[in-house]
Amino acid sequence: MFTSLGFERAARTGSTSLQATRSAPCSRERPRPPPSSAARSSFRWPSWWPPRRRGRRSASRSRTRFRRPACPISTSPVATCGRTAPSSAAPVSDVVLDPARHRIALVGAGIGGSLSPALHEREARALGLDYRYSLLDLDDLPPGWTLRDAVRRGVTGFNVTHPVKQAVLTQLDDLSADARALGAVNTVSVRDGRLTGHNTDHSGFLAGVRHGLPDVRLGRVVVVGAGGAGSAVAYTLAGAGAGAGVAIADADADRTAALVARLRGAFPTGEIHGLAAEQVPAALADADGIVNATPVGMTGHPGLPFDARVLRDRHWVADVVYRPLDTALLVAARAAGCRVLDGGAMLVAQAAQTLALLTGVTPDLDRMRRHLTALTRREGKQ
């Protein structure tokens, strides 16, 4: 049950995953009041979810479950499992492999402004998929709500975001190897009634770095934040060549220590250690780059995750926040002459991998980047 997991408390206070970071002095967030009983009682399932059915499921409905294994992500023209599909200009009927019905939901707190629904649905439409993506904000859900409640309503897969990437683990039947190593998930697949957690954040971050900062040094990197996103980023860097020098800083010392222990187990030859939040400026003296993996800087969480005056033009700076794309940290980093990577790169890459995992169809990364550019430009005009 989400109540027993503390999900409702996490949704209102951020205590599950990023409490320490959000309560740091650099964040000026005002506490959100708990939802009223009237607000909870007014919750309604999205209109596209079918009503709960009783009795045995019809044969026609059971055939809609899609079990084809996921394909690797490719930047080439649209491809499908087992064969290369026609280009995006081809008729939709030539692209669809199965008449699968995909109903995906994002679970998190304060997600009303997420770009994920539009990003996923635009690409799914280009691929000819029957695919809808909805939001399930924890502040609006009734007490005791679980992922299985949504599955019974027709949801075929989930994205999971702040603040429950770690707290959701006890809801699941199984974990992928990466999710188990990271201790966090951002994607949940549903197969034959079993819920399996996956993590596409770590591979999404690596794909974003390779695309946006292809030649930067990954020798010594500071990661600010040890929650779900920080775990994924640190895991990626340790496995991609930065294992000789990954420093993880978080205001929650226990969470930092737990992440360091997991990474040392996965990468025993790497130099992986924890820092107190106030040690970040000193650590940057010897670092090649730094990654903000906290919500500080996103809409509703203004501020800087550390004192940006210590940045030098030899540093590269990445931020996982994508709303806005130009966070206060990236603005300061550019002013200091640093190369920067915004959160959009990670968002697109992990979204593409999630879509492939949940549908078995390979998205076009370049096209998804264009989708995101169009969406952010449209927001800027509003």
Structural domain span for residue 155: 2-14+66-199+347-381
- The per-residue pLDDT for 81 is 34
Q: Residue 270: which pLDDT band, with cuts at 50, 70 and 90?
A: confident
Residue 171 lies in a domain: yes
Q: Rounded mean pLDDT of the chain?
A: 79
Are residue 332 and residue 375 in the same domain, yes or no? no
- The per-residue pLDDT for 121 is 97
Active site residue 381: no
Q: Which helix (H) or strand (E) holds 377?
A: helix 365-381
Contact 179, 235 (CB under 8 A): no
Residue 333 lies in a domain: yes
Residue 23 lies in a domain: no
Mean pLDDT of 216-236: 93
The radius of gyration computed from the CA coordinates of the chain, to the nearest angstrom, equals 21
pTM equals 0.71
Mean pLDDT of 97-109: 84
Q: Which residues pair with 289 in a beta bridge?
A: 221, 316
343 is in an annotated binding site: yes
Pairing of strands 339-341, 174-175: unpaired
The active-site residue, picked from 103, 132, 165, 367, is: 165
Residue 262 lies in a domain: yes
Contact 10, 3 (CB under 8 A): no
- The per-residue pLDDT for 27 is 35
| Dihedral sign (CA 320, 321, 322, 325) | negative
Residue with tokens 């009682």: 41
Are residue 212 and residue 183 in the same domain, yes or no? no
Q: Residue 200: which pLDDT band, with cuts at 50, 70 and 90?
A: very high
Residue 59 lies in a domain: no
Are residue 369 and residue 308 in the same domain, yes or no? no
Are residue 177 and residue 100 in the same domain, yes or no? yes
- The per-residue pLDDT for 300 is 83
Q: Is 175 helix (H, G, I), strand (E, B) or coil?
A: strand
Amino acid occupying residue 127: L
Mean pLDDT of 340-358: 95
279 is in an annotated binding site: no
Are residue 245 and residue 152 in the same domain, yes or no? no
114 is in an annotated binding site: yes
360 is in an annotated binding site: no
Contact 41, 188 (CB under 8 A): no
Are residue 248 and residue 363 in the same domain, yes or no? no
227 is in an annotated binding site: yes
Are residue 147 and residue 8 in the same domain, yes or no? yes
225 is in an annotated binding site: yes
Q: Render pLDDT for 359-376 as a digit per residue (tens, 0 to 9).
A: 999 999 999 999 999 998
Whole-angstrom Cα distance, residue 231 to residue 201?
A: 9
Q: Render pLDDT for 36-88 as a digit per residue (tens, 0 to 9).
A: 544 444 455 555 454 344 344 433 343 333 333 333 333 333 333 333 333 33
Q: Which helix (H) or strand (E) holds 134?
A: strand 130-137
Mean pLDDT of 243-249: 84
Does residue 306 have a pLDDT over 80? yes
350 is in an annotated binding site: yes
Residue 30 lies in a domain: no
Q: Render pLDDT for 178-192 as a digit per residue (tens, 0 to 9).
A: 899 888 999 999 999
Instruction: Indicate the number of domains in the chain.
Output: 2
Contact 7, 167 (CB under 8 A): yes
Contact 267, 244 (CB under 8 A): no
Does residue 3 have a pLDDT over 60? no
Residue 19 lies in a domain: no
Are residue 332 and residue 317 in the same domain, yes or no? yes
88 is in an annotated binding site: no
Are residue 170 and residue 256 in the same domain, yes or no? no
- What letter does residue 360 receive in the DSSP assignment? S
Residue 25 lies in a domain: no
Contact 138, 8 (CB under 8 A): yes
Residue with tokens 């800083």: 249
For residue 331 the two structure tokens come to 């603005």
Q: Render pLDDT for 126-137 as a digit per residue (tens, 0 to 9).
A: 999 999 999 999
Are residue 84 and residue 214 in the same domain, yes or no? no
116 is in an annotated binding site: yes
Does residue 31 have a pLDDT over 70? no
CATH assignment of the domain containing 157? 3.40.50.10860
Are residue 144 and residue 267 in the same domain, yes or no? no
Q: Is 116 helix (H, G, I), strand (E, B) or coil?
A: helix
Cα 96 to its chain centre, rounded Å, is 27
CATH assignment of the domain containing 279? 3.40.50.720
Are residue 188 and residue 215 in the same domain, yes or no? no
Q: Render pLDDT for 328-338 as a digit per residue (tens, 0 to 9).
A: 999 999 999 99
Closest CA to 198 of 182, 170, 179, 183: 179
Mean pLDDT of 147-159: 96
